[in-house]
């Protein structure tokens, strides 16, 4: 069996229109001023809601406020340990995704296997990438027991995954939202694991979008759109003349799925603009002029100073996945340009704080 991946789809007028909606929002969000404190709060809320909705699709019963208690306060709900493990795992995978995105790390099979391992990890970080399944996997309707989908045989999975990753790398001319949509569909089609395929496919989708510049400051949740339109989600992704992978699934025209995905992405993006506008209506401080003087890394580092008045070069470097030498060089550069001030001049214990103008941005006193 050929494992070469050649998706069939058409850019319909509806898809084209929604791609334009996405680009319009992307441009608007990049220009909207936002208080770093508000940004950090909105981003954390988005992560918690993404965790809620992605695990809810799989049957998780924890409510948003319960997930927040589990993640932030280490809360416990007796008898619901499985649900707790799921949300901890997904949240840990989201944190790893942000790390990959900050590093501009290319998508590899190891990256996908690591995200899956974290999904299944109960929030533990000392994990090893998960190998693909070594046996048959059949998806059945939980109520009727009838077969819904028969994925490819285990022997074909490595080749299919290898070609999916190659396809993602080799299609820079295709809009990233389309690449993300097709990758989501193909990962679900391959179903490389016994469990956790849906959550991992959604993480892969988000990582592709972030690496392509469609992160929207980390504020959107595609998972919310899926969960609130769950029947449409399953209808859109279940394409093909047969429930058996080898009887037409691989050759199916997936335009309906791409259409569904792109529309959902446009809706999720437009919701971000609404959220940001609401933050302005609450009379949040406008730091737009000062923010425009900062480069992207300096803007991101403001999130660190929201939690710490004084930081080390290592803490700043860890935010971007840099090596020690790079950490020191970056802090020196930022000190010379007036973004940072040295607190402790000791080489071994050198620490930094924000220069006064930027302290005001973090504290909200500007």
The answer to whether residue 21 is domain-embedded is no
Q: Tell which of 279, 307, 337 closes a domain.
A: 279
Residue 239 sits in a domain whose CATH number is 1.10.3290.10
Q: Looking at the structure, tell me whether residues 274 and 295 fall in a common domain.
A: no
The answer to whether residue 224 is domain-embedded is yes
Q: Looking at the structure, tell me whether residues 193 and 335 fall in a common domain.
A: no
**Separation of CA 79 from chain center:** 29
Q: Looking at the structure, tell me whether residues 346 and 228 fall in a common domain.
A: no
Per the structure, the count of domains in the chain is: 2
pLDDT of residue 75: 82
Query: Mean pLDDT, to the nearest integer, of 161-166?
Result: 96
Residue 357 sits in a domain whose CATH number is 1.10.10.10
Choice among 41-50, 117-126, 158-167 with the minimum mean pLDDT? 41-50
Q: Looking at the structure, tell me whether residues 127 and 257 fall in a common domain.
A: yes
The answer to whether residue 16 is domain-embedded is no
Q: Looking at the structure, tell me whether residues 331 and 274 fall in a common domain.
A: no
The answer to whether residue 29 is domain-embedded is no
Q: Tell which of 279, 300, 321 closes a domain.
A: 279
Q: Tell which of 249, 279, 309 closes a domain.
A: 279
Instruction: 165-169: list long-range contacts, CB under 8 Å, 24+ apart.
Output: 165/107, 165/108, 165/109, 165/112, 166/5, 167/5, 167/7, 168/107, 168/208, 169/106, 169/107
The answer to whether residue 251 is domain-embedded is yes
Q: Looking at the structure, tell me whether residues 93 and 194 fall in a common domain.
A: yes
Q: Looking at the structure, tell me whether residues 167 and 87 fall in a common domain.
A: yes
Residue 343 pLDDT > 90? no
Q: Looking at the structure, tell me whether residues 268 and 306 fall in a common domain.
A: no
The answer to whether residue 293 is domain-embedded is yes
- Count Cβ atoms within 10 A of the Cβ of residue 220 and give its class: 0-12 exposed, 13-18 middle, 19 or more buried: buried
**pLDDT tens readout for residues 225-254:** 888 888 888 888 887 777 788 887 878 899
Contact of 165 with 184, CB cutoff 8 Å: no
Residue 283 pLDDT > 50? no
Across 15-53, b (16+ Cβ under 10 Å) vs e yields: beebbebbeebbeebeeeebbbbbbbebeeebbbbbbbb
The pTM of this model reads 0.76
Q: Looking at the structure, tell me whether residues 212 and 308 fall in a common domain.
A: no
Greater confidence (130 vs 304) lies with: 130
Q: Looking at the structure, tell me whether residues 136 and 272 fall in a common domain.
A: yes
pLDDT confidence tier of residue 24, bands split at 50, 70 and 90: very high
Q: Among residues of the chain, what percentage have pLDDT more than 70?
A: 92
C-alpha neighbours within 13 Å on the C-beta side of residue 54: 30
C-alpha 288/C-alpha 361 separation (Å) is 10
**pLDDT tens readout for residues 88-97:** 999 999 989 9
pLDDT of residue 203: 95
CA distances from 2 to 134, 150, 159 (A): 19, 18, 9
**Between β-strands 311-312 and 340-344, what pairing exists: parallel, antiparallel or unpaired?**
unpaired
Q: Looking at the structure, tell me whether residues 135 and 262 fall in a common domain.
A: yes
The answer to whether residue 292 is domain-embedded is yes
pLDDT of residue 158: 96
C-alpha 57/C-alpha 264 separation (Å) is 15
pLDDT of residue 286: 56
**pLDDT tens readout for residues 31-72:** 776 666 667 777 788 888 899 889 898 888 898 888 988 887
> Around Cβ 247, how many Cβ atoms within 10 Å?
12
The answer to whether residue 28 is domain-embedded is no
* DSSP calls for 177-205: HHHHHHHHHHHHHH--SSS-HHHHHHHHH
Q: Looking at the structure, tell me whether residues 96 and 56 fall in a common domain.
A: yes
Q: Which domain holds residue 178?
A: 34-279
């Amino acid at each position: 069996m050929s494992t070469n991946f050649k998706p069939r789809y058409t850019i319909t007028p509806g898809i084209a229109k929604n791609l334009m909606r996405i680009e319009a929002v992307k441009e608007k969000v990049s220009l909207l001023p936002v208080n770093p404190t508000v940004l950090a709060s909105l981003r954390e809320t988005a992560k918690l809601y993404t965790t809620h909705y992605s695990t809810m699709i799989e049957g998780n019963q924890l409510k948003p406020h319960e997930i927040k208690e589990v993640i932030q306060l280490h809360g416990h709900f007796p008898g619901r340990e499985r649900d707790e493990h799921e949300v901890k795992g997904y949240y840990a995978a989201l944190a790893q995704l942000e790390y990959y995105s900050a590093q501009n790390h290319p998508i590899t099979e190891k990256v996908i296997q690591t995200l899956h391992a974290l999904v299944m990890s109960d929030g533990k970080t000392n994990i090893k990438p998960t190998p693909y399944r070594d046996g048959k996997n059949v998806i059945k309707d939980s109520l009727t027991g009838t077969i819904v989908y028969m994925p490819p045989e285990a022997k074909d999975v490595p080749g299919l995954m290898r070609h999916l990753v190659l396809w993602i790398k080799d299609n820079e001319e295709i809009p990233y939202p389309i690449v993300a949509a097709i990758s989501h569909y193909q990962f679900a089609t391959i179903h490389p694991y016994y469990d956790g395929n849906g959550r991992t496919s959604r993480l892969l989708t988000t990582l592709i979008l972030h690496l392509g510049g469609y992160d929207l400051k980390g504020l959107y949740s595609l998972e919310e759109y899926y969960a609130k339109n769950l029947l449409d989600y399953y209808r859109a992704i279940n394409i093909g003349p047969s429930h058996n992978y080898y009887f037409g699934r691989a050759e199916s025209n997936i335009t309906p799925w791409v259409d569904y995905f792109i529309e959902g992405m446009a809706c999720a993006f437009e919701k971000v603009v609404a959220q940001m506008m609401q933050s302005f209506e609450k009379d949040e401080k406008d730091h737009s002029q000062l923010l425009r003087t900062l480069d992207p890394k300096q803007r991101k580092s403001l999130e660190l100073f929201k939690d710490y008045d004084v930081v080390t070069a290592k803490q700043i470097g860890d935010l971007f996945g840099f090596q020690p030498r790079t950490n020191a060089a970056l802090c020196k550069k930022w000190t010379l340009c007036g973004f940072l001030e040295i607190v402790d001049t000791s080489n071994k214990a050198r620490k930094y704080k924000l220069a006064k103008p930027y302290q005001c941005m973090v504290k909200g006193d500007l």
